[in-house]
Chain A
């Protein structure tokens, strides 16, 4: 049983290498290996359903053992990783066909999957960090395959990732200096015995690394660029899975290494939540609201979705940081849901880009008639994302709100709500500008995406319904996970939550069945009425003016310009500009610094003299500067 974890982890890596080598023979060999091994990993995951396998030692280093483990919490994330990766590979086959360096692409894709799987399976900090870095640079190579602009975006991504990872590195090294063992259990034991200052340092440094990956404001600036510039099939992987690794890390940090009680002891608790968690909650809430507002004002479809990801990951972090059973369950469930619907939306827009070649929303429109399947996918995606019943986003958002209400964190709740309402705005903008409205003349021959690209859309659409109506399916694992973390597991039913879990009970099945019955009734009424005839899109009201195909009679540029007038004052300052200013300052400073290498022999010789003097002097005063 222990060995099987190693097998699971090795699957994507082996698949990647085989796909790479197979690609040299024939492209279908490559595809077969890629699909086969990603599917294999996904299937292997189910052998670990609801099990806790600990401590498969796979190596030793510096006196610490390297351990793999799996528990229900990591299972959820491993499930997301393998599932979405599989779909991404399916989607890739048609989408990136004909590009250069495809063997390398699939290699990287499977390596990213393997690295993320490694993160979820890691049982000690060295393994965790190793796979974390591996994930960063392998995904970097995926991102920069998206064209010219993506290189800058990828550069930003890798720099920020590396900064985050190094921050985490310092935290890990601090622990290693004390514990000399980095197995999760020892780490939590050490932290429970350490001084508050040490724990806070650890928390902050480790947290920064996770926040960068989870794109919590103000460390989010890499995300909009990277997600929008990456190749279409990579964006779902980034948005759906990669940023979830941050959420997983936070869960492990908050409740694996530390615990609510322990964090509570670090600072006086006048608040409903321990201070550190409370700060995290506020950061999450701020990213919810600001990212939502930014998403509303975007013109680029993928950029819009990228900002939406920042906002939605805000909910995840908010839920996880809450510390209550319901909140954590909500956060984890939202992580799962977000992986489903955001990947779905990115797949859809990927298909649209594949067919039309643009992602500028003001150039698109009216694709519903040409790409109905994509439209249905987008519809499910936006309904799920906006948190409207009966799809899955509703349940998790509801849980987070109820948890906030339970803890009386009202201001956070207000922000979460506003973010959610704002989501209607940008999501409507997304679906309208792409699928509704006027079909531009140049896209009148656009076809639906090929079957392999439809498949992920169908599967994920179905999942939004499944998890929306039967949230108990997910709660089953999440409750196990909470038990594993030592938190009271959440009470749930298959269709919702009984009285006492939240402020009030919830039965999703009732809402959806009433909705469906009402729909059937109204549809019956509608069908009894005189039949309608279909008219062309140009037969539309234009105050008597005749609309011709040459006329662009569509509203899609500057969709919420009037709203922009209201909120623009907030965005005078941006974190991105600040970072760029820092980078520039560092660069200028560095440029001055390197002028010591003047290239003049006499300068260099004088350095020697100066140095001897200094060394002699320092030795004279005892050789001790400190």
Chain B
């Protein structure tokens, strides 16, 4: 249970950072927090208390005691995607910094309604 709460807390903090913080880097951190929270959530879904890795070749381990492998696969994928996203975001931040000379989001407002 604590994992779930933790995961959602992470997501909430991430959202908070994106909404309140004015610095682009902090927004990036917020994004990362959301991604991490999600990953934590996925992993914790598959988690079985005291379980082991789901490797059949070792034998003599009950299927029940195995951690569900699918969420882990999902997590790996999600981490990869999240990382690439973050990298792209960082690239954007660099470009923005080049254009505006600042990281303050309040000053990066040329596009409006």
Contacts and interface: CB of A to CB of B under 8 A. Distances in A.
Nearest to A603: B19
Given A606-B19, A609-B15, A609-B19, A601 B105 contact: yes
Contacts of B27: 601
A605 B19 CA distance: 6
B49 to A, nearest CB: 29
Given A609-B15, A609-B19, A602 B113 contact: no
Contacts of B18: 601-602, 605
Contacts of A357: none
A602 B109 contact: no
Interface in A103-150: none
Q: Is the interface of B mostly helix, strand, loop or mixed?
A: helix
Contacts of A606: 19
B109 A599 contact: yes
A595 B113 contact: yes
B20 interface: yes
B112 interface: yes
Q: Is the interface of A mostly helix, strand, loop or mixed?
A: helix
A598 B112 contact: yes
Of the four ranges (under 10, 10 to 19, 20 to 34, 35 or more), the interface on chain B belongs to 10 to 19
A568 to B, nearest CB: 44
B94 to A, nearest CB: 17
Of the four ranges (under 10, 10 to 19, 20 to 34, 35 or more), the interface on chain A belongs to 10 to 19
A600 B113 contact: no
Interface string A35-74: 0000000000000000000000000000000000000000
Interface string A588-600: 0000001111111
B20 A602 contact: yes
A600 B113 CA distance: 10
A599 B111 contact: yes
Contacts of A602: 18-20, 105
Contacts of B105: 600-602
A602 B16 CA distance: 9
A606 B112 CA distance: 17
A614 to B, nearest CB: 15
B15 A598 contact: no
Contacts of A599: 109, 111-113
B110 to A, nearest CB: 8
A596 B112 CA distance: 10
Interface in A210-228: none
Nearest to A608: B15
Interface string A417-453: 0000000000000000000000000000000000000
Contacts of B112: 597-599
A600 B20 CA distance: 11
A605 B111 contact: no
Interface string A315-342: 0000000000000000000000000000
16 contacts: A594-B113, A596-B113, A597-B112, A597-B113, A598-B113, A599-B112, A601-B105, A602-B18, A602-B19, A602-B20, A602-B105, A605-B15, A605-B19, A606-B19, A608-B15, A609-B15
Interface of A: 594-602, 605-606, 608-609
Closest 3 CB pairs of A and B: A599-B112, A597-B113, A605-B18
